[in-house]
Every structure is written in C-alpha cells, then in structure tokens.
Structure 1
C-alpha cells in the first residue's frame, strides 16, 4: 500500500498554493508548453476531439489542448480545488481577448467521482496530478469509464527525485530550514517504471505505453530560476514564515545552485514520464 497523505491534506496543500500557481502561470507558460506538447501528442489529440484534462490547476495543458481541438472539439479542464482554477479562468479569458479562438470550459471535479457520462470523451490528460490522489484506483476506473471505446488517457508523472535537480535541491534546503514533513514524497509516487501502467491495467486499461523525458535545463547562474518551483510546490510550507526566515531560506537555495554552476550556467536535470493507456 502506498504511504500517501489523505485527501483533506492534499486539498489544503493546493488551496494554500493557488495564488502562487496563478502568479507564475504566465511567466512559466513557454516552459510549460515544452511539457504540454508531448503529452497532447501522446494522447493523440486532434482537431474535433473531446478532451478532459484532470488537475488542470492554472490551466495547463487544457489551454493548449483547446487550440489543438479547435472549434469543432471540446476541452474541459477540471481540478479538485476550485481556487486553483481561478487562474485558469483568467488566462482563458485573456487569451480569448488577445487571440480569439476556442477556450476550455473549467469545472471543479473530484477524479474519483467525475461528473460526466460514460464514454463522454475521446481523450483524457493529466499533467503531474494523478500521484496526489489517495484513491488512485478509483480515479483510474473513473477515467476509463468516461473514455469512449478506443479513446486514450495520457498521464505525465515525475521520475525519481534524484533525476529532478530542481525539486531535490529545493527540497533539501527546505527540509534543513523547516524540517522534513514528507510533502515532497507524493510527487514521486509513480517514479518507478511500470508502476502507473500496472495500476492502469488493474483499472481496466488493456494496453499501456511509457515514454521517458529527460531534458537538462541550462539556467543562468545568479538568477532565481528556482523561485517558481519554490512557491508552487512548497508554498503550503512558506505562508507563515517571517521575512528574515524566508530571506535566509532563499539565500541557501541560491547558494546550493550557484555551487553547481559551470561557466556561468547551472545544469538542472529533470525526469518526467508519460504513461498512455487505452
């Protein structure tokens, strides 16, 4: 059995981080798109498809999916925490005013009890969300239920913490300052190859396929490239910190990454995995 925080703890965690996700969503859009495109490709999303995006947060990848599905398709973004979607709704409105074209609909929804009819969607996507669901078997059965026969579900999850330098580095410093509370562990729930595939097959998927992505981001030394990840993934632990403690923590994070710089560049490896089922 997986050791995993309960549902109320997860809800509180993301409610506490909602403002940070909204604040960083636009500055991080280009970087997010580098992850969104391979996920949507893996799902097989094409014009005219009906897609459900789970754990959409501030709108990724639902916003890009709406462009790809086009006027003849439908994209519905969902999240357990309504506050997380405030940024998604704002961004959809801003993009619509700036670019026109189709926009996703957003709805609060629990993955374990989706408010949709059987076989309602051609595709389901979930970027870095499935690992936070305590009742993952129930969620995967619901995904299978709302997919039409022949439809595909594509999940993106993190590989091992050791292969994700940004989380590993920030997590170590946060633990040094605030103690270890285990809140980073759920990110890597499906780090082991084949683990999510096995859960999907147990939930009714007949075939699964996995693809690893291991890019190395080259960040400029001396720049706080790590601040978005700190706010978005650790914000629930930082809200009560005074200015002095927050400043000291950030200074130690900066020193950690500056120590890894080579010729003015900090290599930041990442390891994600796309798991597709049908």
Structure 2
C-alpha cells in the first residue's frame, strides 16, 4: 500500500507546514509513517519523534528506520492524552488516521496544543465517508452479508462528517482551523489479495473463530467483488480522506 500511503503522507506533511530544520511530533505512527517521510524532509538539522500507544508497533517502526538512508526519527510509546514532552517543544504535530480512536479526543487535542510552539500547526488526517472509500466499503459489505453488521468500521469514520473535527479542535482551543478533502485512487492489480491486510486489521476479532470453510467463502466473495471492477487488469480503489489543520 506504499503508493497510496505516499499520496496521503505528502499532503499531510504539507498541511503541517513541515520544512527543513523543523521539530515534528507524529502521533499514532504505527509502523513508522509518516514519521519516516517527515525525517527525510526536515533533514539532519531537524527532529522527528514518532509515537504510538502500543510499544509493539514502535518496535516495528524502529526496525524499519534502520533500513532508511539519511536522518531517522526517534520513536517512543506515548499516550496521546498525556504526552511526555515539554511545553512548546515542537513546530508541528501530525496524526494520520489515529485521532478517531481516542476516547478523550478533546484532552488529546489540548495536549497537542501544549507541546506546540506559539504559531505551530497541527494536522490530523481522518477518513471521509465510508461510501467514498472503496476498500472499506466492499470489505464491510461482504462481512456484513456473511456475518452480520456489528459496527466494526464505525470508529474509522468517526469524523467523516465535514467540519466535525475542525469544530472539536476549536473547542479545544485551536484557532484558524480548516479542512481539506483528498480523493486519491489506488490502482491495485487484479487477482491479488491487496484487500487482505485491511480485512484482518478491521475484522480480525470476528474472523478468529470462523471455520476454514466460512473464511474461504468470505474471502472468495471479496475477491469476486473487486474482480468485477477490474479494467485491463487493474482495480481502481477510490479513497476519501480529510485533513483538519489548526494553529
């Protein structure tokens, strides 16, 4: 999924105003992006710190950073609602597809404001409507048909409504908030299970107890759905993301 990730990383870092020599905190870094891309942008005179609530995810990010040429980010496990950093420590903060999973979101946003320098910028990327995200829409419909709907995808689209996240940011004290929509289309190879990682991440808790036969039928159905959309061996998979920015 590196091609789609790059189409999302670059606009997010641009929205944060990231430039050479800056100090950036990346929240919910997971396996390392966009912190790794950010480190290349700030160069040796800057600093990128990637954080995640799950230490195991940070271990994977550290392994990835060892294979990257040039400046590498620092990684640490951290709770977004109680960040272990000094006041005004960063020029910018980014978070790609993480803020929607935080129960106390206003507390997290106040912490982000605390660690930003005056005039610093925070940029959060969230998913737009489920219907505009072909990968989740097809997988979610197939799972609902086979296993029933249980709302597993709902947290992903917590801030899908335009203006919702920007409003929460204003209540937390941010000024000059804005939102921008992105609609990149991923070109996936037909006949390849490019959808399997998303299936496991989103529905692993429901798949664990399935018999081999039921899982096989579910995956075959998902494969058929995407195969039906293929044109000249390529499956166009639309995405809809939104970037909310605040100072």
The interval holding the TM-score normalised by the smaller chain is over 0.9
> Cα 1:197–1:232, aligned 2, differ >3 Å: closer, same or farther?
same
Q: CA deviation at 1:130?
A: 0.4
Q: Secondary structure at the match of 1:112?
A: coil
Counterpart residue number, 2:122: 153
C-alpha distance in structure 1 between counterparts of 2:37 and 2:224, whole Å = 36
C-alpha distance in structure 2 between counterparts of 1:237 and 1:259, whole Å = 26
Counterpart residue number, 2:18: 45
C-alpha distance in structure 2 between counterparts of 1:102 and 1:221, whole Å = 36
Q: Secondary structure at the match of 2:226?
A: helix
> Which of 39, 45, 50 matches 1:72?
45
Contact 2:152 2:202 in 1 (8 A): no
C-alpha distance in structure 2 between counterparts of 1:176 and 1:267, whole Å = 23
Counterpart residue number, 1:192: 161
C-alpha distance in structure 1 between counterparts of 2:2 and 2:239, whole Å = 17
Q: Once the two structures are superposed, what CA deviation does each residue of 1:146-190 show, in whole Å capped at 9, x if it has no partner?
A: 100010000111000011111010011122233322120011111
Q: Once the two structures are superposed, what CA deviation does each residue of 1:210-244 show, in whole Å capped at 9, x if it has no partner?
A: 11111222333322221222233333333343432
Contact 2:3 2:186 in 1 (8 A): no
C-alpha distance in structure 2 between counterparts of 1:266 and 1:206, whole Å = 41
Q: Which runs of 4+ in 1 moved over 6 A?
A: none
The answer to whether 1:228 aligns with 2:201 is no
Coordinate RMSD, CA, aligned? 1.5
Q: CA deviation at 1:84?
A: 1.8
The structure with the largest helix share of the pair is 1
The answer to whether 1:117 aligns with 2:86 is yes
Counterpart residue number, 1:84: 57
Q: Once the two structures are superposed, what CA deviation does each residue of 1:12-44 show, in whole Å capped at 9, x if it has no partner?
A: xxxxxxxxxxxxxxxx33431221111001101
> Cα 1:89–1:235, aligned 2, differ >3 Å: closer, same or farther?
farther
C-alpha distance in structure 2 between counterparts of 1:39 and 1:32, whole Å = 11
Alignment of 1:112-191 (within 5 A): 112-191=81-160
TM-score using structure 1 length: 0.84
> Cα 1:231–1:143, aligned 2, differ >3 Å: closer, same or farther?
same
Contact 2:184 2:239 in 1 (8 A): yes
C-alpha distance in structure 1 between counterparts of 2:197 and 2:72, whole Å = 25
Structure 1: runs of 5 or more not aligned: 1-27
> Cα 1:82–1:144, aligned 2, differ >3 Å: closer, same or farther?
same
Q: CA deviation at 1:137?
A: 0.7
The answer to whether 1:205 aligns with 2:178 is no
